């Protein structure tokens, strides 16, 4: 039963790149360690944090348009038995369309307007931990922290990228004083009309 599940999981990942065939090949990233020990993954369009407790307990495997994270102890135990992809925790996927909605379990992260890319986490559709008590307990603890990772996702260029810093308001310039209107000149005095001379009757010539 264990072997069948791991083979099914491998088949699911084999179909993921085909479903997001319009996505760029590979998801390049860089990493950093925060002051609290959490592991920061910077991808082209987004970033997120893995808990500090995950250090040395996780394996990252790249795909054509995804990047998967695996519980190291489960992954190595299954691999020793000749099985690949055991201990799957989640993977980051990218697609320009919504074909990922056909996956059995996923968490939509958001859309980057600059790259026109949808981002999502693919989650296990079954229980991929190695069935040894201590290994299984460690897997369960890590899987229980995936919600924290989802909450830490920041997609660049979106409103959730970073809170705006409260900047001091720009000083308001004093209004330009309005010049007083030019005084109106008094109207020129109207001259009295020239009196018209009555036309008298002319002298009659005799």
Given a cut of 90, whether residue 175 has pLDDT beyond it is: no
Model-level pTM?
0.65
What is the C-alpha to C-alpha distance for residues 136 and 201, in angstroms, rounded to an integer? 140
The pLDDT of residue 168: 40
Between 197 and 50, where is the model more confident?
50
The pLDDT of residue 27: 84
Helices 72-80 & 133-143 angle (0-180, nearest 10): 140
Average pLDDT, the chain: 76
pLDDT digits (tens, 9 = 90+) for 1-58: 444 333 333 333 333 333 333 333 468 899 999 999 999 999 999 999 999 999 999 9
Given a cut of 80, whether residue 192 has pLDDT beyond it is: no
Q: 160: closest CA among 100, 113, 107?
A: 113
Between 147 and 193, where is the model more confident?
147
The pLDDT of residue 157: 74
Please give the average per-residue pLDDT across 100-110, as a whole number. Answer: 93
* Host H or E run for residue 139: helix 133-143
Kindly state the tokens that stand for 167: 């900047």
The pLDDT of residue 203: 46
Kindly state the tokens that stand for 173: 């310039």
The pLDDT of residue 173: 41
């Amino acid at each position: 039963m264990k072997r069948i599940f791991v083979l099914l999981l491998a088949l699911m990942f084999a179909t993921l790149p085909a479903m997001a065939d319009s996505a760029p090949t590979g998801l390049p990233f860089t990493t950093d360690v925060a002051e609290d020990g959490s592991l920061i993954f910077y991808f082209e369009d987004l970033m997120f944090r893995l808990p500090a407790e995950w250090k040395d307990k996780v394996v990252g495997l790249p795909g054509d348009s995804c990047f998967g994270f695996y519980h190291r102890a489960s992954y190595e135990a299954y691999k020793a038995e000749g099985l690949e992809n055991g201990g799957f925790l989640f993977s980051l996927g990218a697609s320009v369309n919504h074909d990922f909605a056909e996956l059995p379990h996923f968490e939509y992260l958001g859309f980057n307007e600059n790259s026109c890319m949808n981002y999502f986490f693919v989650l296990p559709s079954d229980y991929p931990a190695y069935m040894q008590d201590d290994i299984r307990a460690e897997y369960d603890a890590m899987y229980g922290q995936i919600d924290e990772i989802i909450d830490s996702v920041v997609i660049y260029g979106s409103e959730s990228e970073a809170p705006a810093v409260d900047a001091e308001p720009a000083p308001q310039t004093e209004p330009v004083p309005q010049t007083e209107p030019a005084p109106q000149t008094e109207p020129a005095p109207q001259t009295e009309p020239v009196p018209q001379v009555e036309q008298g009757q002319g002298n009659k010539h005799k």
